[in-house]
Amino acid sequence: MAELSDVFFVDGVRTPFGRAGEKGMYWNTRADDLAVKATIGLMERNPQVPASRVDDVAVAATSQTGDQGLTLGRTVGLLAGLPETVPGFAIDRMCAGAMTSVAMMSGALATGMYDVALAGGVEHMGHHPIGANADPNPRFVAERLVDPAALNMGVTAERIHDRFPELTRERADRYGMLSQQKAQAAYDAGKIQPDLVPVAIKGADGAWGLATEDEGRRPETTMEGLAGLKTPFRPHGRVTAGTSSPLTDGATMALLAGGAAVKELGLAPKMRLVSFAFAGVQPEIMGIGPIPSTEKALRKAGLSVSDIGLFELNEAFAIQVISLLDHFGIADDDARVNQWGGAIAVGHPLAASGVRLMIQLAAQFAERPDVRYGLTAMCVGLGQGGSVVWENPHYNGRKRK
C-alpha cells in the first residue's frame, strides 16, 4: 500500500543558455540533444541513483514540433541511455513547462506512486520561435475572449505599465541593469558554473567548440544606455530589450525523489517541496500571474510572504518582477530577490526556465542555513502564473550575523 511522502529536489543541472538565432551558439545543435545532454549530466552527477530506479521522465517544451516533438520525455530518456523500462512524456504550460513537470512529478512522488523521477524542459527558440507553428482558434478573438495582442508577450508587459503607472520605465531599467550586474558578479564568484553541463557545439564554419557559460550576458549595461533603447512593442512605450529576457536556447533537468528513496539510496536533497500552485489571470496582462499563484502557494503552505527568505523570480520582463514585488511590499532591489541575477541577463528558454530558478535557489540555500523557506515563481503566457515554495534542509534556526 503506497503511503504519502515528502518530496525532495535532490539535484538539478542545465546547459549553458545560448542566444537564439543563426548567430547563437546552438544554431547547429538539436533541441532534443540539449535535453539529452542535461539528462546525462544529471545522472552522471548522481551515480548513487540507478537509472533503472527512475519511474518517469517529464520534459516540457512550448513549441512541440520538429526536434522538440515526438514525446520528449520518452525520446530524451532513451537517447540519454536510460533503460527501455523507464517511461516518459512531454508537457506544455508555455513558460512554466519545467515548473509544471516538477509539480506533476511531485504529485506522483507525494502519493507514493513514484519513488524517483526526472523533470525538466527545453526550448530552442532559434529553431522554434514562440507561436511560429501555432494556429490560434479564431474564436479567441471573434468572441472577444482574448485580445489578439495577448499572444505578444511584450505587449502584455506594456499593459502592466499602463495599469500601474507607479511602475515606471526608470524602475524597470534599473532592475534590468542590476540583473546584469548581479549575474556577472555571480559568475565572477563561481556561483553559476557548478550546475552547468558543457555542450559540444558546431560553428557555422564547421569548427567544433564547447559551450561552458551563458551567452547573452551584458554586464556593461548602464542606465544611460538603457534610456536610449527603442520600445519595440509600442511607440513611446516603456518595455525595451534591456528590460526583457532575450530569445534563448537551453535545457534543464531535475532529479526528484520521495522520502523513502532518499533514505534507501543515501541521497542528500538540496530542497524539500512545501507547496505549489498555478493560477489564471487575464491573458492580456499575463505578467501579473505569479501574484495570485504565490498567494495560493503560500496559503497552501500556511505561510506568509514574510516567511520567504529567498526569492527566485523569472525575469521574463522587469515589469513582471517589480509588479509582484510592489504587490507584496518588497523593494525593487531587496537583497532576498534574484541574488545572482535572472533571465534578463542569462536568458529565458521558455519551458526550461522553471528548473533554472530551482537550481539557483538550491545553491543559495546551501549558503544560507539562516533561511528556512524560498520561493520560485514565474509568469506564464496566455494569462497564468506558477509558484513553488521550498524548504531549506540546511536550515539551522540561527540568524545571519
Query: Residues with catalytic annotation?
Result: 95, 348, 379
Sequence-ordered list of residues with C-beta below 8 angstroms from that of 95, at least 6 positions apart, any chain: 62, 314, 316, 348, 350, 351, 353, 354, 378, 379, 380, 381
Task: Note every long-range contact of 159-165, with CB atoms under 8 Å and residues 24 or more positions apart, other chains counting.
Answer: 159/284, 159/285, 160/285, 160/287, 160/288, 160/317, 160/319, 160/320, 160/323, 161/237, 161/238, 161/239, 161/319, 163/285, 164/323, 164/326
From 217, 166, 179, 180, select the one nearest 333 (Cα to Cα). Answer: 179
Read off φ and ψ for residue 135, nearest 5 degrees: -130, 80
Distance CA 169, CA 150 (A): 21
What is the Cα 95 distance to its own chain's centre?
Answer: 7
Partners of 200 in beta bridges: 210
**Distance of alpha carbon 11 from alpha carbon 269, whole angstroms:** 7
CB atoms within 10 A of CB 265: 16
Q: Would you give the DSSP letter of residue 242?
A: G
* CB-CB contact of 251 with 120 (8 Å): yes
Helix (H) or strand (E) holding 271: strand 271-280
Rounded to whole angstroms, the Cα distance separating 356 from 75 reads: 22
Which cell numbers hold the place of 350?
A: 521558455
**In this structure, are strands 56-60 and 116-124 parallel, antiparallel, or unpaired?**
parallel
The pairing of beta strand 308-313 with beta strand 373-380: parallel
- Angle, alpha carbons 110-10-335 (nearest 5°): 105
Return d(Cα 330, Cα 291) in angstroms, integer: 13
